[in-house]
Protein backbone atom coordinates (compact mmCIF):
# COMPACT_ATOMS: atom_id res chain seq x y z
CA UNK A 1 0.00 0.00 0.00
CA UNK A 2 1.48 3.33 -1.07
CA UNK A 3 1.82 6.20 1.42
CA UNK A 4 3.69 9.09 -0.22
CA UNK A 5 0.95 10.13 -2.63
CA UNK A 6 -1.57 12.89 -3.02
CA UNK A 7 -3.32 11.83 -6.21
CA UNK A 8 -7.04 11.25 -6.55
CA UNK A 9 -7.89 7.89 -5.03
CA UNK A 10 -11.32 7.09 -6.37
CA UNK A 11 -12.13 6.14 -9.93
CA UNK A 12 -15.70 7.43 -10.24
CA UNK A 13 -16.64 4.79 -12.81
CA UNK A 14 -16.07 1.99 -10.33
CA UNK A 15 -18.70 0.58 -7.98
CA UNK A 16 -18.18 1.43 -4.32
CA UNK A 17 -17.39 -1.51 -2.06
CA UNK A 18 -19.89 -2.41 0.60
CA UNK A 19 -18.69 -1.21 4.00
CA UNK A 20 -19.59 -4.42 5.78
CA UNK A 21 -20.15 -8.09 5.17
CA UNK A 22 -23.37 -8.10 7.19
CA UNK A 23 -25.22 -6.25 4.40
CA UNK A 24 -24.83 -9.27 2.14
CA UNK A 25 -27.55 -11.91 1.93
CA UNK A 26 -25.75 -15.31 1.89
CA UNK A 27 -28.27 -16.71 -0.61
CA UNK A 28 -28.13 -13.71 -2.98
CA UNK A 29 -24.33 -13.53 -2.77
CA UNK A 30 -24.00 -17.22 -3.57
CA UNK A 31 -26.45 -16.78 -6.44
CA UNK A 32 -24.39 -13.90 -7.84
CA UNK A 33 -21.03 -15.71 -7.50
CA UNK A 34 -22.37 -18.92 -9.08
CA UNK A 35 -24.11 -16.88 -11.78
CA UNK A 36 -20.90 -15.06 -12.77
CA UNK A 37 -18.97 -18.36 -12.75
CA UNK A 38 -21.55 -20.11 -14.96
CA UNK A 39 -21.64 -17.17 -17.36
CA UNK A 40 -17.83 -17.22 -17.61
CA UNK A 41 -17.75 -21.00 -18.23
CA UNK A 42 -20.52 -20.71 -20.84
CA UNK A 43 -18.72 -17.79 -22.58
CA UNK A 44 -15.48 -19.79 -22.74
CA UNK A 45 -17.33 -22.85 -24.08
CA UNK A 46 -19.25 -20.75 -26.63
CA UNK A 47 -16.07 -19.02 -27.89
CA UNK A 48 -14.32 -22.37 -28.20
CA UNK A 49 -17.16 -23.89 -30.23
CA UNK A 50 -17.57 -20.84 -32.46
CA UNK A 51 -13.81 -20.53 -32.93
CA UNK A 52 -14.01 -16.97 -31.59
CA UNK A 53 -10.87 -17.08 -29.46
CA UNK A 54 -9.14 -13.93 -30.67
CA UNK A 55 -7.03 -11.70 -28.43
CA UNK A 56 -9.63 -8.93 -28.75
CA UNK A 57 -12.39 -11.28 -27.56
CA UNK A 58 -10.29 -12.47 -24.59
CA UNK A 59 -9.59 -8.84 -23.62
CA UNK A 60 -13.31 -8.08 -23.72
CA UNK A 61 -14.15 -11.09 -21.55
CA UNK A 62 -11.32 -10.24 -19.13
CA UNK A 63 -12.60 -6.64 -18.80
CA UNK A 64 -16.09 -7.99 -18.03
CA UNK A 65 -14.61 -10.31 -15.41
CA UNK A 66 -12.62 -7.47 -13.77
CA UNK A 67 -15.78 -5.34 -13.58
CA UNK A 68 -17.61 -8.17 -11.79
CA UNK A 69 -14.63 -8.80 -9.50
CA UNK A 70 -14.74 -5.15 -8.38
CA UNK A 71 -18.47 -5.44 -7.72
CA UNK A 72 -17.98 -8.61 -5.66
CA UNK A 73 -15.50 -6.81 -3.42
CA UNK A 74 -12.28 -7.44 -1.44
CA UNK A 75 -12.16 -11.26 -1.51
CA UNK A 76 -12.38 -11.44 -5.28
CA UNK A 77 -10.09 -8.45 -5.80
CA UNK A 78 -7.41 -10.38 -3.89
CA UNK A 79 -8.12 -13.48 -6.02
CA UNK A 80 -7.74 -11.38 -9.17
CA UNK A 81 -4.46 -9.90 -7.90
CA UNK A 82 -3.20 -13.43 -7.13
CA UNK A 83 -4.18 -14.64 -10.61
CA UNK A 84 -2.32 -11.71 -12.17
CA UNK A 85 0.92 -13.57 -11.30
CA UNK A 86 -0.02 -16.80 -13.09
CA UNK A 87 1.18 -16.03 -16.60
CA UNK A 88 1.99 -19.73 -16.90
CA UNK A 89 -1.62 -20.83 -16.49
CA UNK A 90 -3.99 -18.18 -17.86
CA UNK A 91 -3.95 -16.15 -21.12
CA UNK A 92 -1.91 -12.97 -21.25
CA UNK A 93 -5.04 -10.84 -21.84
CA UNK A 94 -6.37 -11.83 -18.40
CA UNK A 95 -2.96 -11.15 -16.81
CA UNK A 96 -2.97 -7.61 -18.21
CA UNK A 97 -6.52 -6.87 -17.01
CA UNK A 98 -6.06 -8.44 -13.56
CA UNK A 99 -2.85 -6.44 -13.07
CA UNK A 100 -4.96 -3.25 -13.12
CA UNK A 101 -6.79 -4.33 -9.95
CA UNK A 102 -3.84 -3.11 -7.86
CA UNK A 103 -4.74 0.60 -8.00
CA UNK A 104 -8.47 0.55 -8.76
CA UNK A 105 -9.99 0.23 -5.30
CA UNK A 106 -11.98 3.17 -3.89
CA UNK A 107 -11.69 4.08 -0.18
CA UNK A 108 -14.53 3.85 2.33
CA UNK A 109 -15.91 6.80 4.30
CA UNK A 110 -13.71 8.61 6.84
CA UNK A 111 -16.50 8.45 9.43
CA UNK A 112 -16.37 4.65 9.26
CA UNK A 113 -12.57 4.74 9.57
CA UNK A 114 -12.70 7.01 12.66
CA UNK A 115 -15.42 4.86 14.25
CA UNK A 116 -13.31 1.72 13.68
CA UNK A 117 -10.21 3.36 15.25
CA UNK A 118 -12.15 4.55 18.30
CA UNK A 119 -13.81 1.17 18.78
CA UNK A 120 -10.54 -0.78 18.46
CA UNK A 121 -8.36 1.53 20.59
CA UNK A 122 -11.11 2.38 23.09
CA UNK A 123 -10.64 6.19 23.09
CA UNK A 124 -11.92 9.20 21.12
CA UNK A 125 -9.83 10.16 18.12
CA UNK A 126 -8.91 13.53 19.67
CA UNK A 127 -7.39 11.83 22.72
CA UNK A 128 -5.51 9.27 20.63
CA UNK A 129 -3.98 11.75 18.18
CA UNK A 130 -3.04 15.43 18.25
CA UNK A 131 -3.95 15.61 14.54
CA UNK A 132 -5.81 13.17 12.29
CA UNK A 133 -6.36 13.67 8.55
CA UNK A 134 -9.79 12.23 7.66
CA UNK A 135 -8.85 12.05 3.95
CA UNK A 136 -6.99 8.78 3.25
CA UNK A 137 -3.60 9.05 1.56
CA UNK A 138 -3.85 5.49 0.14
CA UNK A 139 -6.51 2.82 -0.31
CA UNK A 140 -6.37 -0.90 -1.06
CA UNK A 141 -8.76 -3.83 -1.19
CA UNK A 142 -8.37 -4.64 2.52
CA UNK A 143 -8.00 -1.21 4.09
CA UNK A 144 -6.86 2.38 3.80
CA UNK A 145 -4.21 4.66 5.31
CA UNK A 146 -4.65 8.00 7.13
CA UNK A 147 -1.91 10.38 8.22
CA UNK A 148 -1.89 11.47 11.87
CA UNK A 149 0.33 13.04 14.55
CA UNK A 150 0.77 11.71 18.07
CA UNK A 151 0.60 13.97 21.11
CA UNK A 152 4.34 13.32 21.54
CA UNK A 153 4.97 14.98 18.15
CA UNK A 154 5.76 11.96 15.91
CA UNK A 155 4.12 11.80 12.50
CA UNK A 156 2.47 8.41 11.88
CA UNK A 157 0.22 6.63 9.43
CA UNK A 158 -2.81 4.69 10.64
CA UNK A 159 -3.86 1.70 8.55
CA UNK A 160 -7.56 0.92 9.04
CA UNK A 161 -9.16 -2.33 7.95
CA UNK A 162 -12.40 -2.19 5.97
CA UNK A 163 -15.32 -2.65 8.39
CA UNK A 164 -17.02 -6.06 8.18
CA UNK A 165 -14.13 -7.60 6.25
CA UNK A 166 -13.81 -10.75 8.41
CA UNK A 167 -17.56 -11.46 8.09
CA UNK A 168 -17.37 -11.07 4.33
CA UNK A 169 -14.34 -13.40 4.11
CA UNK A 170 -16.11 -16.04 6.20
CA UNK A 171 -19.14 -15.87 3.92
CA UNK A 172 -17.07 -16.01 0.73
CA UNK A 173 -14.96 -18.81 2.23
CA UNK A 174 -18.05 -21.05 2.49
CA UNK A 175 -19.49 -20.04 -0.90
CA UNK A 176 -16.21 -20.61 -2.75
CA UNK A 177 -15.79 -23.98 -1.06
CA UNK A 178 -19.19 -25.02 -2.47
CA UNK A 179 -18.16 -23.64 -5.87
CA UNK A 180 -14.87 -25.61 -5.87
CA UNK A 181 -16.72 -28.84 -4.96
CA UNK A 182 -19.29 -28.14 -7.68
CA UNK A 183 -16.58 -27.54 -10.31
CA UNK A 184 -14.71 -30.71 -9.30
CA UNK A 185 -17.93 -32.70 -9.53
CA UNK A 186 -19.19 -31.53 -12.91
CA UNK A 187 -16.01 -30.54 -14.81
CA UNK A 188 -13.63 -33.50 -14.73
CA UNK A 189 -10.86 -31.74 -16.67
CA UNK A 190 -10.44 -29.21 -13.86
CA UNK A 191 -9.62 -31.81 -11.18
CA UNK A 192 -5.95 -32.02 -12.18
CA UNK A 193 -5.44 -28.43 -10.97
CA UNK A 194 -6.21 -29.47 -7.36
CA UNK A 195 -8.47 -26.45 -6.77
CA UNK A 196 -9.21 -27.57 -3.20
CA UNK A 197 -5.54 -27.17 -2.18
CA UNK A 198 -5.21 -23.83 -4.02
CA UNK A 199 -8.41 -22.57 -2.36
CA UNK A 200 -7.25 -23.46 1.17
CA UNK A 201 -3.77 -22.07 0.51
CA UNK A 202 -5.22 -18.77 -0.69
CA UNK A 203 -7.54 -18.28 2.29
CA UNK A 204 -4.81 -19.18 4.80
CA UNK A 205 -2.69 -16.34 3.37
CA UNK A 206 -5.69 -14.02 3.21
CA UNK A 207 -6.62 -14.49 6.87
CA UNK A 208 -3.00 -13.78 7.84
CA UNK A 209 -3.06 -10.61 5.74
CA UNK A 210 -6.06 -9.14 7.57
CA UNK A 211 -4.38 -9.69 10.95
CA UNK A 212 -2.53 -6.41 11.49
CA UNK A 213 -0.72 -7.73 14.58
CA UNK A 214 0.81 -10.36 12.30
CA UNK A 215 1.76 -7.61 9.82
CA UNK A 216 3.33 -5.54 12.60
CA UNK A 217 5.47 -8.52 13.68
CA UNK A 218 6.51 -8.98 10.06
CA UNK A 219 7.58 -5.32 9.91
CA UNK A 220 9.67 -5.69 13.09
CA UNK A 221 11.34 -8.85 11.75
CA UNK A 222 12.01 -7.21 8.38
CA UNK A 223 13.54 -4.14 10.07
CA UNK A 224 15.78 -6.36 12.24
CA UNK A 225 17.03 -8.17 9.11
CA UNK A 226 18.16 -4.83 7.63
CA UNK A 227 19.68 -3.28 10.76
CA UNK A 228 23.15 -3.27 9.21
CA UNK A 229 21.88 -1.62 6.00
CA UNK A 230 21.99 2.13 6.59
CA UNK A 231 20.32 2.90 3.26
CA UNK A 232 17.22 0.75 3.85
CA UNK A 233 14.39 2.25 5.92
CA UNK A 234 11.54 0.26 7.47
CA UNK A 235 8.82 2.08 9.47
CA UNK A 236 8.66 1.56 13.22
CA UNK A 237 5.49 -0.03 14.66
CA UNK A 238 3.67 1.84 17.44
CA UNK A 239 2.27 -1.15 19.30
CA UNK A 240 0.21 0.90 21.80
CA UNK A 241 -1.88 2.12 18.83
CA UNK A 242 -2.09 -1.25 17.06
CA UNK A 243 -4.68 -4.04 17.13
CA UNK A 244 -5.68 -6.83 14.74
CA UNK A 245 -7.66 -4.25 12.71
CA UNK A 246 -5.62 -1.06 13.25
CA UNK A 247 -1.91 -0.67 12.48
CA UNK A 248 0.00 2.49 13.38
CA UNK A 249 3.42 2.98 11.78
CA UNK A 250 6.10 5.64 11.56
CA UNK A 251 5.46 8.08 8.70
CA UNK A 252 8.28 7.79 6.16
CA UNK A 253 7.48 9.87 3.05
CA UNK A 254 9.36 9.31 -0.19
CA UNK A 255 9.35 9.44 -3.98
CA UNK A 256 7.67 6.63 -5.87
CA UNK A 257 10.48 4.22 -6.75
CA UNK A 258 9.72 4.05 -10.50
CA UNK A 259 9.25 7.83 -10.91
CA UNK A 260 12.44 8.49 -12.87
CA UNK A 261 11.77 12.19 -13.52
CA UNK A 262 11.13 12.96 -9.85
CA UNK A 263 14.25 11.04 -8.78
CA UNK A 264 16.43 12.87 -11.31
CA UNK A 265 14.88 16.21 -10.28
CA UNK A 266 16.01 15.48 -6.71
CA UNK A 267 19.51 14.54 -8.00
CA UNK A 268 19.16 10.90 -6.93
CA UNK A 269 21.34 8.40 -8.82
CA UNK A 270 18.89 5.93 -10.41
CA UNK A 271 21.68 3.38 -10.97
CA UNK A 272 22.33 3.28 -7.23
CA UNK A 273 18.61 2.88 -6.58
CA UNK A 274 18.48 -0.10 -8.97
CA UNK A 275 21.52 -1.77 -7.39
CA UNK A 276 20.24 -1.17 -3.87
CA UNK A 277 16.79 -2.54 -4.76
CA UNK A 278 18.18 -5.71 -6.35
CA UNK A 279 20.63 -6.20 -3.47
CA UNK A 280 17.83 -5.81 -0.92
CA UNK A 281 15.70 -8.39 -2.64
CA UNK A 282 18.56 -10.90 -3.08
CA UNK A 283 19.31 -10.53 0.63
CA UNK A 284 15.66 -11.17 1.53
CA UNK A 285 15.39 -14.17 -0.73
CA UNK A 286 18.76 -15.87 -0.36
CA UNK A 287 20.15 -14.76 3.00
CA UNK A 288 17.08 -14.14 5.20
CA UNK A 289 14.60 -16.53 3.60
CA UNK A 290 11.93 -13.93 4.43
CA UNK A 291 10.83 -11.66 1.61
CA UNK A 292 8.17 -9.20 0.58
CA UNK A 293 6.12 -11.15 -1.95
CA UNK A 294 4.43 -8.08 -3.47
CA UNK A 295 7.14 -5.43 -4.11
CA UNK A 296 5.11 -3.29 -6.53
CA UNK A 297 5.96 0.44 -6.90
CA UNK A 298 3.31 1.34 -4.30
CA UNK A 299 5.14 -0.66 -1.62
CA UNK A 300 8.58 0.88 -2.19
CA UNK A 301 9.79 4.49 -2.23
CA UNK A 302 13.03 6.48 -2.23
CA UNK A 303 13.90 9.11 0.38
CA UNK A 304 15.46 12.49 -0.42
CA UNK A 305 18.85 10.97 0.50
CA UNK A 306 18.40 8.10 -1.98
CA UNK A 307 17.56 5.47 0.64
CA UNK A 308 14.94 2.80 -0.16
CA UNK A 309 11.82 2.72 2.01
CA UNK A 310 9.69 -0.42 2.29
CA UNK A 311 5.96 -0.36 3.10
CA UNK A 312 3.26 -3.01 3.59
CA UNK A 313 4.31 -6.26 5.25
CA UNK A 314 1.01 -8.14 5.09
CA UNK A 315 2.13 -10.41 2.23
CA UNK A 316 5.46 -11.84 3.29
CA UNK A 317 6.71 -15.27 2.23
CA UNK A 318 9.37 -17.60 3.57
CA UNK A 319 11.74 -19.98 1.81
CA UNK A 320 14.49 -22.26 3.04
CA UNK A 321 17.71 -20.25 3.22
CA UNK A 322 20.81 -21.50 1.46
CA UNK A 323 24.42 -21.25 2.57
CA UNK A 324 26.53 -18.49 1.05
CA UNK A 325 28.70 -20.91 -0.93
CA UNK A 326 25.50 -22.33 -2.46
CA UNK A 327 24.40 -18.81 -3.40
CA UNK A 328 27.65 -18.25 -5.31
CA UNK A 329 27.41 -21.63 -7.05
CA UNK A 330 23.81 -20.97 -8.06
CA UNK A 331 24.68 -17.49 -9.36
CA UNK A 332 27.40 -18.93 -11.59
CA UNK A 333 25.09 -21.80 -12.60
CA UNK A 334 22.71 -19.16 -13.98
CA UNK A 335 25.60 -17.46 -15.80
CA UNK A 336 26.67 -20.81 -17.30
CA UNK A 337 23.08 -21.80 -18.12
CA UNK A 338 23.51 -24.95 -15.98
CA UNK A 339 19.92 -26.17 -15.71
CA UNK A 340 20.66 -29.15 -13.46
CA UNK A 341 22.45 -27.04 -10.83
CA UNK A 342 19.65 -24.44 -10.78
CA UNK A 343 16.94 -27.12 -10.49
CA UNK A 344 18.79 -28.79 -7.58
CA UNK A 345 18.95 -25.46 -5.71
CA UNK A 346 15.26 -24.73 -6.35
CA UNK A 347 14.28 -28.19 -5.05
CA UNK A 348 16.44 -27.67 -1.94
CA UNK A 349 14.74 -24.32 -1.23
CA UNK A 350 11.31 -25.92 -1.67
CA UNK A 351 10.52 -23.82 -4.72
CA UNK A 352 9.99 -26.86 -6.95
CA UNK A 353 8.34 -30.09 -5.92
CA UNK A 354 10.41 -33.12 -7.03
CA UNK A 355 8.46 -35.61 -9.15
CA UNK A 356 9.28 -38.91 -10.84
CA UNK A 357 9.93 -37.37 -14.25
CA UNK A 358 11.69 -34.01 -13.98
CA UNK A 359 12.23 -33.66 -17.75
CA UNK A 360 9.34 -31.19 -18.36
CA UNK A 361 10.41 -29.14 -15.33
CA UNK A 362 14.02 -28.96 -16.52
CA UNK A 363 12.77 -27.97 -19.95
CA UNK A 364 10.84 -25.07 -18.41
CA UNK A 365 13.83 -23.92 -16.33
CA UNK A 366 16.12 -24.16 -19.39
CA UNK A 367 13.64 -22.04 -21.36
CA UNK A 368 13.49 -19.39 -18.61
CA UNK A 369 17.29 -19.26 -18.29
CA UNK A 370 17.59 -18.83 -22.05
CA UNK A 371 14.85 -16.19 -22.31
CA UNK A 372 15.21 -14.15 -19.12
CA UNK A 373 18.88 -14.34 -18.15
CA UNK A 374 20.07 -11.29 -20.12
CA UNK A 375 16.73 -9.86 -21.27
CA UNK A 376 13.73 -8.13 -19.69
CA UNK A 377 11.19 -10.41 -18.00
CA UNK A 378 8.30 -10.17 -20.47
CA UNK A 379 5.18 -12.07 -19.41
CA UNK A 380 4.27 -12.50 -23.09
CA UNK A 381 7.21 -14.89 -23.40
CA UNK A 382 5.30 -17.31 -21.18
CA UNK A 383 2.92 -17.89 -24.08
CA UNK A 384 5.70 -19.92 -25.71
CA UNK A 385 5.65 -22.48 -22.89
CA UNK A 386 1.89 -22.60 -22.31
CA UNK A 387 1.63 -25.91 -24.19
CA UNK A 388 4.53 -27.25 -22.14
CA UNK A 389 2.86 -26.31 -18.86
CA UNK A 390 -0.44 -27.90 -19.87
CA UNK A 391 1.39 -31.07 -20.95
CA UNK A 392 2.92 -31.25 -17.47
CA UNK A 393 -0.55 -31.18 -15.92
CA UNK A 394 -1.70 -33.90 -18.32
CA UNK A 395 1.29 -36.15 -17.64
CA UNK A 396 1.53 -35.81 -13.87
CA UNK A 397 -0.08 -33.87 -10.99
CA UNK A 398 2.54 -31.12 -10.74
CA UNK A 399 2.06 -27.70 -9.19
CA UNK A 400 4.57 -25.00 -8.34
CA UNK A 401 4.58 -24.13 -4.63
CA UNK A 402 3.13 -20.66 -3.91
CA UNK A 403 6.56 -19.31 -2.91
CA UNK A 404 7.80 -19.88 -6.47
CA UNK A 405 4.91 -17.90 -7.95
CA UNK A 406 5.64 -15.10 -5.43
CA UNK A 407 9.28 -15.03 -6.55
CA UNK A 408 8.34 -14.95 -10.25
CA UNK A 409 5.91 -12.11 -9.55
CA UNK A 410 8.51 -10.23 -7.48
CA UNK A 411 11.26 -10.59 -10.08
CA UNK A 412 8.89 -9.49 -12.85
CA UNK A 413 7.86 -6.42 -10.83
CA UNK A 414 11.42 -5.52 -9.83
CA UNK A 415 12.53 -5.91 -13.45
CA UNK A 416 9.76 -3.53 -14.52
CA UNK A 417 10.78 -0.97 -11.87
CA UNK A 418 14.45 -1.18 -12.89
CA UNK A 419 13.66 -0.76 -16.59
CA UNK A 420 11.48 2.26 -15.84
CA UNK A 421 14.57 3.84 -14.26
CA UNK A 422 17.08 2.54 -16.84
CA UNK A 423 15.91 0.68 -19.99
CA UNK A 424 19.47 -0.66 -20.50
CA UNK A 425 19.97 -2.08 -17.00
CA UNK A 426 21.42 -5.56 -16.54
CA UNK A 427 20.25 -7.79 -13.68
CA UNK A 428 23.59 -9.57 -13.34
CA UNK A 429 25.48 -6.28 -13.10
CA UNK A 430 23.03 -4.94 -10.52
CA UNK A 431 23.50 -8.10 -8.42
CA UNK A 432 27.30 -7.73 -8.23
CA UNK A 433 27.42 -5.63 -5.00
CA UNK A 434 25.51 -8.34 -3.15
CA UNK A 435 27.80 -11.01 -4.56
CA UNK A 436 30.91 -9.05 -3.52
CA UNK A 437 29.49 -8.65 -0.03
CA UNK A 438 29.10 -12.43 0.21
CA UNK A 439 32.54 -13.14 -1.25
CA UNK A 440 34.39 -10.79 1.13
CA UNK A 441 32.31 -11.59 4.20
CA UNK A 442 34.44 -11.73 7.33
CA UNK A 443 32.18 -14.39 8.85
CA UNK A 444 33.28 -17.02 6.35
CA UNK A 445 36.96 -16.90 5.53
CA UNK A 446 36.75 -19.59 2.85
CA UNK A 447 34.12 -17.72 0.86
CA UNK A 448 36.69 -15.79 -1.15
CA UNK A 449 38.22 -19.11 -2.23
CA UNK A 450 34.79 -20.39 -3.35
CA UNK A 451 34.19 -17.19 -5.29
CA UNK A 452 37.64 -17.37 -6.93
CA UNK A 453 37.12 -21.01 -7.92
CA UNK A 454 33.70 -20.28 -9.43
CA UNK A 455 35.14 -17.29 -11.31
CA UNK A 456 37.95 -19.43 -12.68
CA UNK A 457 35.49 -22.14 -13.78
CA UNK A 458 33.30 -19.51 -15.44
CA UNK A 459 36.26 -18.00 -17.36
CA UNK A 460 37.26 -21.50 -18.54
CA UNK A 461 33.64 -22.11 -19.53
CA UNK A 462 33.66 -18.91 -21.62
CA UNK A 463 36.94 -19.83 -23.36
CA UNK A 464 35.61 -23.30 -24.18
CA UNK A 465 32.42 -21.96 -25.74
CA UNK A 466 31.75 -23.89 -29.00
CA UNK A 467 31.37 -22.24 -32.39
CA UNK A 468 27.96 -21.82 -34.03
CA UNK A 469 27.98 -25.21 -35.77
CA UNK A 470 29.00 -27.06 -32.61
CA UNK A 471 26.42 -25.07 -30.61
CA UNK A 472 23.65 -26.07 -33.05
CA UNK A 473 24.65 -29.75 -32.79
CA UNK A 474 24.76 -29.54 -28.97
CA UNK A 475 21.29 -27.95 -28.88
CA UNK A 476 19.96 -30.69 -31.15
CA UNK A 477 21.45 -33.35 -28.85
CA UNK A 478 19.99 -31.63 -25.80
CA UNK A 479 16.52 -31.47 -27.35
CA UNK A 480 16.74 -35.16 -28.27
CA UNK A 481 17.80 -36.06 -24.70
CA UNK A 482 14.92 -34.07 -23.22
CA UNK A 483 12.42 -35.56 -25.65
CA UNK A 484 11.72 -32.06 -26.89
CA UNK A 485 12.24 -32.78 -30.57
CA UNK A 486 9.06 -33.90 -32.26
CA UNK A 487 8.71 -35.16 -35.81
CA UNK A 488 5.40 -34.30 -37.42
CA UNK A 489 4.25 -35.98 -40.63
CA UNK A 490 1.41 -34.25 -42.44
CA UNK A 491 -0.90 -36.08 -44.79
CA UNK A 492 -2.94 -33.32 -46.42
CA UNK A 493 -5.49 -35.69 -47.93
CA UNK A 494 -6.02 -37.52 -44.64
CA UNK A 495 -6.31 -34.27 -42.70
CA UNK A 496 -8.93 -32.94 -45.11
CA UNK A 497 -10.94 -36.15 -44.89
CA UNK A 498 -10.76 -36.23 -41.10
CA UNK A 499 -11.85 -32.60 -40.89
CA UNK A 500 -14.81 -33.26 -43.17
CA UNK A 501 -15.78 -36.33 -41.13
CA UNK A 502 -15.57 -34.30 -37.92
CA UNK A 503 -17.75 -31.54 -39.38
CA UNK A 504 -20.19 -34.16 -40.66
CA UNK A 505 -20.51 -35.76 -37.22
CA UNK A 506 -21.02 -32.33 -35.64
CA UNK A 507 -23.72 -31.50 -38.19
CA UNK A 508 -25.48 -34.81 -37.48
CA UNK A 509 -25.41 -34.16 -33.72
CA UNK A 510 -26.74 -30.60 -34.15
CA UNK A 511 -29.50 -31.90 -36.47
CA UNK A 512 -30.60 -34.47 -33.89
CA UNK A 513 -30.54 -31.95 -31.04
CA UNK A 514 -32.43 -29.25 -32.93
CA UNK A 515 -35.00 -31.80 -34.17
CA UNK A 516 -35.46 -33.28 -30.70
CA UNK A 517 -35.86 -29.81 -29.10
CA UNK A 518 -38.37 -28.75 -31.79
CA UNK A 519 -40.39 -31.97 -31.49
CA UNK A 520 -40.42 -31.88 -27.67
CA UNK A 521 -41.45 -28.21 -27.68
CA UNK A 522 -44.33 -28.93 -30.07
CA UNK A 523 -45.59 -31.79 -27.87
CA UNK A 524 -45.41 -29.66 -24.71
CA UNK A 525 -47.10 -26.73 -26.48
CA UNK A 526 -50.06 -28.99 -27.25
CA UNK A 527 -50.01 -30.06 -23.58
CA UNK A 528 -50.45 -26.43 -22.49
CA UNK A 529 -46.91 -26.18 -21.03
CA UNK A 530 -46.09 -23.00 -22.91
CA UNK A 531 -43.14 -21.83 -20.74
CA UNK A 532 -41.15 -25.06 -21.13
CA UNK A 533 -42.14 -25.27 -24.80
CA UNK A 534 -40.77 -21.77 -25.51
CA UNK A 535 -37.50 -22.68 -23.76
CA UNK A 536 -37.17 -25.80 -25.94
CA UNK A 537 -37.90 -23.76 -29.08
CA UNK A 538 -35.08 -21.41 -28.05
CA UNK A 539 -32.76 -24.40 -27.67
CA UNK A 540 -33.89 -25.63 -31.09
CA UNK A 541 -32.93 -22.26 -32.61
CA UNK A 542 -29.56 -22.38 -30.82
CA UNK A 543 -28.71 -25.87 -32.16
CA UNK A 544 -29.98 -24.88 -35.62
CA UNK A 545 -27.57 -21.90 -35.68
CA UNK A 546 -24.69 -24.25 -34.82
CA UNK A 547 -25.92 -26.63 -37.55
CA UNK A 548 -25.88 -23.83 -40.15
CA UNK A 549 -22.37 -22.82 -39.05
CA UNK A 550 -21.15 -26.42 -39.34
CA UNK A 551 -22.72 -26.87 -42.79
CA UNK A 552 -21.21 -23.56 -43.95
CA UNK A 553 -17.77 -24.69 -42.75
CA UNK A 554 -18.17 -27.97 -44.68
CA UNK A 555 -19.12 -26.14 -47.84
CA UNK A 556 -16.26 -23.63 -47.51
CA UNK A 557 -13.71 -26.38 -46.84
CA UNK A 558 -14.87 -28.33 -49.89
CA UNK A 559 -14.78 -25.20 -52.05
CA UNK A 560 -11.25 -24.30 -50.90
CA UNK A 561 -10.09 -27.86 -51.62
CA UNK A 562 -11.51 -27.76 -55.17
CA UNK A 563 -9.86 -24.39 -55.80
CA UNK A 564 -6.53 -25.80 -54.61
CA UNK A 565 -6.92 -28.76 -56.99
CA UNK A 566 -7.21 -26.51 -60.03
The pLDDT value recorded for residue 488 is 47
Same domain, 40 and 149: no
Alpha helices in 230-385 (DSSP H): 260-265, 270-282, 324-335, 339-348, 359-372
* Residue 4 domain flag: no
CATH number of the CATH domain containing 138: 3.30.200.20
Same domain, 36 and 117: no
Count how many domains the chain has: 4
pTM of the model as a whole: 0.65
pLDDT, tens digit, for every residue of 509-520?
878 888 877 877
Same domain, 393 and 265: yes
Higher-pLDDT residue of 131 and 554 is: 131
First-residue to last-residue Cα distance in the chain: 66
Same domain, 98 and 114: no
The pLDDT value recorded for residue 13 is 36
Cβ-Cβ contacts under 8 Å for 548 (sequence gap 6 or more): none
Same domain, 39 and 103: yes
Inter-CA distances, 355 with 129, 395, 396, 400, Å: 56, 11, 8, 11
146 contacts 134 by C-beta, under 8 angstroms: yes
Same domain, 290 and 197: no
Q: Which of 184, 209, 234 is the last residue of a domain?
A: 209
Domain carrying residue 399: 255-482
Residues with a known catalytic role: 294
pLDDT, tens digit, for every residue of 373-405?
555 545 455 455 545 554 554 554 445 566 666
Please tell me the distance from the alpha carbon of residue 245 to that of residue 172, in angstroms, as a whole number.
Answer: 19
Q: Among 42, 43, 39, 51, which Cα is nearest to 549's?
A: 51
Same domain, 312 and 290: yes
Same domain, 377 and 470: yes
Helix (H) or strand (E) holding 478: helix 468-481
Same domain, 331 and 451: yes
504 contacts 512 by C-beta, under 8 angstroms: no
Same domain, 223 and 319: no
Of the pLDDT bands very low, low, confident and very high (cuts 50, 70, 90), residue 460 is low
Please tell me the distance from the alpha carbon of residue 63 to that of residue 327, in angstroms, as a whole number.
Answer: 42
Please tell me the distance from the alpha carbon of residue 205 to that of residue 131, in angstroms, as a whole number.
Answer: 34
Of the pLDDT bands very low, low, confident and very high (cuts 50, 70, 90), residue 20 is very low
Same domain, 301 and 389: yes
Same domain, 400 and 503: no
Average pLDDT value for the chain: 76
* Residue 487 domain flag: no
Amino acid sequence: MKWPQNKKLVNQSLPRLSPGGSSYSPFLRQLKIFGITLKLIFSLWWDKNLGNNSSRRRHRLAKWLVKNILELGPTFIKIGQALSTRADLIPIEYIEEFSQLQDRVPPFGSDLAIAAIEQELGKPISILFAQFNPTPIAAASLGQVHKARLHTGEDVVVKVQRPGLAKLFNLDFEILHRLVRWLNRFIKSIRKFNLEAIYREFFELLYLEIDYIHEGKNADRFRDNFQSYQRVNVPKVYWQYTTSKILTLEYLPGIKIDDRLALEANKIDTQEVIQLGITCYLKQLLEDGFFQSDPHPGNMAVSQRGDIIFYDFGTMAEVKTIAKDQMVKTFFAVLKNDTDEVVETLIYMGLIEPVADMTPVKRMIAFMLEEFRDKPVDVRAFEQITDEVYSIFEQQPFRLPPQMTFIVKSLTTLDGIARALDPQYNLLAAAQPFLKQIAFSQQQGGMLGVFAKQTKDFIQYKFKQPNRTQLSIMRLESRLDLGELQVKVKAVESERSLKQIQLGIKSLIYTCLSGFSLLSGSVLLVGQLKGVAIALFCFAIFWFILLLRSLTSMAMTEKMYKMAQK
